[in-house]
Structure 1
Amino acid sequence: MSAGLLDGRVAVVTGGGRGLGRAYVLALAGAGAAVVVNDVDADAAAETVALVTEAGARAVAVVAPVGPTATADLLVETAVERFGRLDIMVTNAGVLRDRVLWKTEDDDFDRVVETHLRGTFSCARAAAARMREQGEGGRIIVIGSPAGQFGSFGQTVYAAVKAGIVSFARTWSLELARAGITVNAVIPTAMTAMTGTIPIYEELYARFLEGEPLPQQVRRAHALGGPEDVAPLVVWLASERSGDVTGQAIGLGGDKLTLYAHPAELMAEYADGGWSVEAIEDAWMTRFAASAQPSGATFPPLD
């Protein structure tokens, strides 16, 4: 049971108006945290706050786009002014502009980078400054994606920023360790409006919205459940129980909990005096090629 696990703690969740963000807000509040709910959709943010307050917990909405430093500062200031402190920052806000490389326009690139990469950076920076000032540690939880782990056809910019966000977590876990601030990346997979646009899931998503349970094959092999299935990982990483966990990329979706590896050297060969073109080709063909890494995630077909 997570009730009371976060009593006295204060969290900010960006993109908390709907979907996974709303699930994170409700779970954090259910564990005892007061929550600043950020979203660009005022109605969605207000609905999430209402759900929290109706359950007897505390929340406040801040309607603003992430990316600008002013928004990050406002979120931290609101947490401190309304609830007295900041302990948890969850950088969930994101946008999609799915296009292959040659069809990706400058505006698509800038919007995705501004929201995901700069938004994560500016909010984490503001949170780290406040947590270091408080001197009591803290939790920064950034949100990645399988696209950032494996690559994803048609998601040129999204895959890049999600990979960058995981690198943020690894670097910040080193920089903030002395302050007792942990930084981890959550890699969520869930049946959401975005997932429902993927052709193989369209029919399944429609049935899911009607209340039909997802088959075990989908919950396990495809790691897809509801947004609420991902939320326990965020609560655990936000709690004192995970105090020795930092710099990790951890996935959760449906019934599947995953620890992702850091990039590592798979093989190495040496040539005295350096390498020629021919020697590189020979080494690749005879020794390296068998270990070449695939791109993209693969899933078994749905029955």
Structure 2
Amino acid sequence: MTLQGKVAVVTGSGRGLGLAYAQELARQGASVVVNDVDEAIAAAAVQSIEAAGGTAVAVVAPVGPTETAKQLVQTAVDTYGRLDILVTNAGVLRDTVLWKMSDDDFDTVIGVHLRGTFTCVREAATYMRANEIAGRIICIGSPTGQRGNFGQTNYAAAKAGIVGMVRTWALELGRAGITANAVIPVAATAMTATVPYFAAAVEADAAGEPMPAFFRHDLGFGTSDDVAGLISFLASDEAAGISGQAIGVGGDRIQIWSHPEPVVTAYHDGGWTLEALREEFAPVIAENRQSVGEKFPPLPDELQRPAAS
């Protein structure tokens, strides 16, 4: 077991992807602090880990406030004597288009995803630095944060912000031997279950059957367990040299996302006036416009579902 003797905190780990991460870390030998806002769900997560021979304890609290971050780290230290790994997975959705999104819709998602990641990482990194632990910070991003998605202003902002923070933390924590990376999962979740395009894959997963190869290979779309292996790898000693990266994983596919880089550079003596932009740069923009949102290929005929009447 590659994580024997390590201690991990996984936020939002009562169910779904977070639970898969916690279970895999435990399977690899780590003692795990599980977190959820629902006491019964958190208890069931702990029980599932213990039933498989692992070790876990639960903290029932909402992620976002500094008090929760302190409680998570303190529970790890009080219960297991240390903290080596933090996985920030907790999140909520409040999807709606821009002109219908309320302040509460925006603030709630930013509070859990972005602020919650910040407060938990700040607390964990402070502990790791003070105790000279070469820890592992693993933050969960999303394709929405990389590409944008209709109806997810708040979620896109939070997930893009998380990747930006990870790059900064990789710089700030490197001297202490602490790594910080973002994982961009593509998997069957409560969110993807509502998207008709993924219906055949979600139905197969719910039935305990293999997903069609089109989803696993062509789209890189799989199960929660397909993501969990990368979490354990990044938490391991073997990943000591990997930091500041955004790594996508799903199904049979793994990807390294590039950091934003200029795709074209142009110069104009004396600076870019409105006239110069019209004459010289407008055609350059037209030829180099970057796409937004995810572009999915058509579903094979055998995987299409009839439209609801």
2:145–2:158 contact (8 Å) kept in structure 1: yes
Task: Report the aligned-residue RMSD.
Answer: 1.0
> Quick check: 1:23 aligned with 2:20?
yes
> Quick check: 1:268 aligned with 2:265?
yes
Counterpart residue number, 2:224: 227
Which residue identity lines up with residue 57 of structure 1 in the other structure? G
Instruction: Determine the C-alpha separation between the residues in 2 that align with 1:87 and 1:284.
Output: 50
Q: What's the offset of the Cα at 1:285?
A: 3.1
TM-score, normalised to structure 2's length? 0.95
Q: What's the offset of the Cα at 1:288?
A: 3.1
1:218–1:302 contact (8 Å) kept in structure 2: no
Counterpart residue number, 1:85: 82
**1:137 is matched with which residue: 105, 111, 134?**
134
List gaps (5 residues or longer) in structure 1.
Answer: none
The aligned length equals 300
Q: Secondary structure at the match of 2:129?
A: helix
Question: How far does the alpha carbon of each residue in 1:68-122 deviate from its partner, in whole angstroms, 9 at most, with x for none?
Answer: 0000000000000000000000000000011111010000001001000000000
Instruction: Determine the C-alpha separation between the residues in 1 that align with 2:91 and 2:294.
Output: 21
Counterpart residue number, 1:9: 6
1:24–1:234 contact (8 Å) kept in structure 2: yes
Counterpart residue number, 2:188: 191
> Quick check: 1:99 aligned with 2:89?
no
Among all aligned residue pairs of Structure 1 and Structure 2, give the percentage whose two residues are the same amino acid: 56
Counterpart residue number, 2:306: none
Instruction: Determine the C-alpha separation between the residues in 2 that align with 1:188 and 1:266.
Output: 26
List gaps (5 residues or longer) in structure 2.
Answer: 301-309
Counterpart residue number, 2:35: 38
Q: What's the offset of the Cα at 1:211?
A: 1.9
Q: Secondary structure at the match of 1:176?
A: helix
**Mean Cα deviation higher: 38-47 or 92-101:** 38-47
**Mean Cα deviation higher: 290-299 or 9-18:** 290-299
1:87–1:139 contact (8 Å) kept in structure 2: yes
Counterpart residue number, 2:108: 111
> Quick check: 1:155 aligned with 2:147?
no
Instruction: Determine the C-alpha separation between the residues in 1 that align with 2:280 and 2:162.
Output: 34
> Quick check: 1:255 aligned with 2:252?
yes
**Mean Cα deviation higher: 9-18 or 39-48:** 39-48
TM-score, normalised to structure 1's length? 0.97
1:221–1:299 contact (8 Å) kept in structure 2: no
Q: What's the offset of the Cα at 1:192?
A: 1.7
Q: Secondary structure at the match of 2:231?
A: helix
Q: What's the offset of the Cα at 1:61?
A: 0.5
1:67–1:120 contact (8 Å) kept in structure 2: yes
**Mean Cα deviation higher: 24-33 or 130-139:** 130-139
Which residue identity lines up with residue 13 of structure 2 in the other structure? G
